[in-house]
Amino acid sequence: MTCNLFTDWLITINNQIKKKNRKTLLFIDNAPCHVINHDLSNIKIVFFPPNTTSKCQPLDQGVIHSFKCYYRQKLVKHIIAQCTLAQTADQISITVLDAIKWIDLSWKSVTENTIKNCFRAAGFIRSSSTPSSSMTNMDIIVEINIESNNSDNPL
């Protein structure tokens, strides 16, 4: 990822969201490429605190692990299937197209429930119920930030 690639992506997404008359809140880490030099009318960006991304990011709470497990399963099945036909290890091949198909199928295999549970584990969703309707999204973000700062948690 480069700064230019990230910025181009943000501008494209912002324009798409603007056409739909929607607003988006985007949580990102402090990677060097995440430099924002443009005003984004429909995207509000919130940076995770430094050195906390592995505890705060929903993808790090199990989504990536689930995706990788599905991908590896497809890879191993492919290798086993080719082993029955191949005489040597050199005859076992994996194409870029194979990998792309497995990526697509693996992502589609990650369940909505897995994603929800990972967002819950990262603190984005309250376990008991949804926040009251009187709270705005920014109130929720501030509350989550305050809770993480006040806890004994190293976040």
pLDDT digits (tens, 9 = 90+) for 2-47: 888 989 999 999 999 999 999 999 888 878 788 887 889 999 998 8
| Domain match, 73 and 135 both | yes
> In the structure, what pLDDT confidence band is assigned to residue 153 with cuts at 50, 70 and 90?
very low
Are 43 and 10 in contact by the 8 Å Cβ rule? The answer is yes
How far is residue 95's CA from residue 118's CA, in Å, rounded to a whole number?
32
Higher pLDDT, 78 or 58: 78
Higher pLDDT, 89 or 102: 102
| Domain match, 65 and 82 both | yes
| Domain match, 37 and 60 both | no
Its pTM stands at: 0.61
The last residue of one of the domains, among 31, 47, 63, is 47
pLDDT score, position 33: 83
Look up residue 61 and give its amino acid: Q
Higher pLDDT, 143 or 17: 17
| Domain match, 105 and 39 both | no
| Domain match, 38 and 69 both | no
Higher pLDDT, 23 or 1: 23
| Domain match, 72 and 148 both | yes
H/E element, 96: helix 96-109
Structural domain total, the chain: 2
| Domain coverage including residue 39 | 1-47
Look up residue 117 and give its amino acid: N
**Average pLDDT for the chain:** 80
pLDDT score, position 136: 45
Average pLDDT of the segment spanning 89-117: 93
pLDDT score, position 20: 95
| Domain match, 74 and 89 both | yes
| Domain match, 119 and 94 both | yes
Q: What share of the chain in percent tops pLDDT 70?
A: 81
Partner residues linked to 26 by β-bridges: 45
| Domain match, 33 and 85 both | no
| Domain match, 10 and 34 both | yes
| Domain match, 37 and 58 both | no
